[in-house]
């Protein structure tokens, strides 16, 4: 199974209003193992000015982009790099929307939505009600992102690739998962995304340290006392 973990940086936030892709980074994984092949380009937005809000996120200026290739000049190379692989992104609708607008300018077909995996959707299913930004997921899984002062397409792709493996159960379980997935494909059972709901959960050798402070516990107990005698919380005190 071939997957392309990718990310974009853009001049702004709404391609419908003419905002453009200015950085594109991608990493190739086969059977959940990094191959070492990457794609990375900074892109000239052809006169579109970088929005100040977007600049605060990625730090890429128009002056820096003046001598870079246009999207039309790099599109064929990126499409060839992706090939028949699945596209994996965090909040994929944002990146795919930008790609499709760039493709439309070049009269190229849009990305097939069936070939897209959104790690934000996976994270929300696995960690409901928890913050699931890329930074928060790195923190949750112990992935070092201290060198990430700005967002960058290739750097974020590398971080996302590590997060993606963890979301699927970790590197060891992912190897077993690929084998099971291939067996299912041979027998006609399931589809290419079926492994997300069947990922075995890793077991920790030692329990995580207590995260609640004494004051937080006391505040919770005080709140429970206001819920009435039949409150379900009182059954677990």
Q: Rounded distance, CA 79 to CA 11, Å? A: 21
Q: Tokens in use for 177?
A: 């998962």
Q: How far apart are CA 12 and CA 213, in angstroms?
A: 41
Distance between alpha carbon 176 and the CA centroid of its chain, in Å? Answer: 22
| Catalytically annotated residue among 90, 147, 151, 193 | 151
d(CA 164, CA 170): 9
- Residues 102 and 71 sit within 8 Å (Cβ to Cβ): yes
Counting Cα atoms < 13 Å in the Cβ hemisphere of 202 gives 17
**Dist CA 157 CA 27 (whole Å):** 7
151 is catalytic: yes
Residues 188, 198: Cα–Cα separation, whole Å:
17
Q: How many helices (H) and strands (E) does the chain have?
A: 9, 5
Q: How far apart are CA 89 and CA 93, in angstroms?
A: 9
Active site residues: 151
């Amino acid at each position: 199974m071939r997957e392309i973990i990718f990310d974009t940086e853009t001049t702004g936030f709404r391609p419908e209003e003419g905002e453009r892709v200015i950085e594109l980074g991608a990493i190739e994984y086969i059977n959940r193992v990094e191959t070492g092949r990457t794609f990375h380009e900074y892109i000239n937005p052809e006169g579109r000015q970088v929005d100040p809000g977007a600049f605060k996120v990625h730090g890429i200026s128009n002056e820096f982009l003046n001598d870079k290739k246009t999207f039309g000049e790099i599109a064929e190379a990126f499409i060839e790099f992706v090939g028949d692989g699945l596209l994996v992104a965090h909040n994929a609708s944002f990146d795919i929307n930008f790609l499709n607008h760039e493709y439309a300018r070049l009269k190229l077909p849009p990305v097939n939505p069936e070939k897209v995996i959104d790690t934000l959707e996976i994270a929300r299913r696995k960690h409901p009600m928890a913050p699931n930004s890329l930074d928060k997921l790195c923190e949750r899984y112990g992935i070092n992102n201290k060198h990430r002062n700005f967002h960058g397409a290739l750097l974020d792709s590398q971080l996302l690739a590590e997060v993606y493996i963890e979301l699927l159960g970790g590197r060891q379980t992912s190897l077993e998962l690929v084998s099971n997935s291939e067996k299912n494909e041979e027998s006609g059972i399931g589809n290419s995304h079926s492994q997300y709901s069947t990922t075995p959960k890793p077991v920790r050798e030692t329990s995580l340290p207590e995260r609640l402070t004494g004051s937080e516990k006391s505040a919770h107990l005080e709140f429970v006392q206001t819920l009435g005698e039949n409150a379900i919380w009182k059954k677990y005190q």
